[in-house]
Structure 1
């Protein structure tokens, strides 16, 4: 029986998922396509969040019957794979590289951040292991080309890209959570009072010193840039 599997659901066959674009039928052309179903799922996630994506709601949005969806995606886990790869097609893969691999990696990270902020469900979707599809592989190829001047072996380059993507996804997830929390001024004020009380209780001198340090720009862009610079500038190529 088909099911709405959650993250980590077993049974994903990469060849079936990526090398077979949909059911092969004789006779009348199918009413729907895998791309149309995936676009409907992405639009639903963009509007209501990843938790809203169920086979039933995607079918309603696409104007299809629920059972017909299983011809294109056997369960929700496969659908999430399709969604992640679909939006990865928005990422540029032919922009000129500078040859300065650190600068190029930082540019790639900024592309990823903007991409994840457009699709705020992506950090959560990327938290589970995903089998890369054609669009994801194209962006990976672009990142590996950016890393070629670093003189690293192939696996090290893949690991660095995975580390970078994980950093961006984690940072954007936190950024989104902070943005949502800021919508409640009372909550932010309560947190500030709590931290002040802890910092002045005499039991946390390191925290007190850190909080008393001169302030830095706290815009999301400035914070991301500081964290990104620490990550990329500190990478060891030995």
Structure 2
């Protein structure tokens, strides 16, 4: 999903939306070959190379010049496949969505299916951190996005909710998994692990602050730290949050049946 739209001009916004949709829904099969030598690269190849670069180096290090160097072509060659970087980002976003949710189960108990949707979303953003910087208010409505949306809805359909609530439920579980992935990525970028940080900060904190001044915080924080092996663990928080989401949806399902 991505806005990809300049906010300074409403007319330009409309033109960009139409341009991206036509590019995303371009014919992909049974295309007649053009006369002359076969092109050295394809649009699919450009998009795949761009995704690889963004995954490893971030969007800030994805330029048309660097991408062209990765593909062994001149920068101007790319423009015969993608008109600009915003269009490239739309294609990249739709492609990673197309690759996601392909193996979601559709015949398991609803809790397993909802968990699978959350895990798939968590993995999607964990594998493609750059996707976290792409806005979701105006999604790229390409075949990848719509195909993934269809598969996700199929998983949540057994909840027996009305269409509006079903869409809201999917948004809720997706936002939870997306936030959890961002949390995990943030933790991985810290200079010190939670355990190392606490080993460095703990003794000094004990010198400066008396546990009797904050008895509840001391008791709970100590118990949680021992259980996690540090002050914070994004993976454990995601697992606990998943259980809470499923419990809450259970109540919603019971309410819709009553």
Q: With structure 1 as the length reference, what TM-score do the two structures score?
A: 0.78
1:217 CA drift (Å):
4.1
Q: Does the alignment pair 1:225 with 2:239? A: yes
1:178 CA drift (Å):
0.7
* Matches for 1:111-126 after TM superposition, within 5 Å: 111-125=120-134
- Aligned mates of 1:195, 1:100 — CA distance in 2: 48
Q: Does the alignment pair 1:211 with 2:229? A: no
Q: Does the alignment pair 1:88 with 2:97? A: yes
- Aligned mates of 2:212, 2:90 — CA distance in 1: 49
- Aligned mates of 1:113, 1:120 — CA distance in 2: 11
- Aligned mates of 1:193, 1:80 — CA distance in 2: 47
- Aligned mates of 1:67, 1:109 — CA distance in 2: 40
Higher CA-based Rg: 2
What is the match of residue 35 of structure 1? Answer: 44
What is the match of residue 169 of structure 1? Answer: 178
- Aligned mates of 1:210, 1:186 — CA distance in 2: 17
What is the match of residue 25 of structure 2? Answer: 19
1:206 CA drift (Å):
6.1
1:51 CA drift (Å):
1.6
- Aligned mates of 1:224, 1:200 — CA distance in 2: 29
Q: With structure 2 as the length reference, what TM-score do the two structures score?
A: 0.73
What is the match of residue 166 of structure 2? Answer: 157
Given that 1:93 and 1:139 are in contact with CA atoms closer than 8 Å, whether structure 2 keeps it comes out as: yes
- Over 3 Å counting, the alpha-carbon distance change for 1:179 and 1:81 in structure 2 is same
What is the match of residue 9 of structure 2? Answer: none
1:91 CA drift (Å):
2.4
Secondary structure in 2 aligned to 1:31? coil
What is the match of residue 81 of structure 2? Answer: 72
1:116 CA drift (Å):
2.7
- Aligned mates of 2:60, 2:155 — CA distance in 1: 35
Which stretch of the first structure deviates more once superposed, 116-125 or 221-230? 116-125
1:62 CA drift (Å):
1.9
Given that 2:101 and 2:152 are in contact with CA atoms closer than 8 Å, whether structure 1 keeps it comes out as: no
What is the match of residue 234 of structure 1? Answer: 248
Secondary structure in 1 aligned to 2:189? helix
Structure 1: where are the runs of 5+ without partners? 1-5
Given that 2:54 and 2:61 are in contact with CA atoms closer than 8 Å, whether structure 1 keeps it comes out as: yes
Q: Which has the higher helix share?
A: 2
Aligned residues: 232
Given that 2:105 and 2:116 are in contact with CA atoms closer than 8 Å, whether structure 1 keeps it comes out as: no
- Over 3 Å counting, the alpha-carbon distance change for 1:69 and 1:227 in structure 2 is same
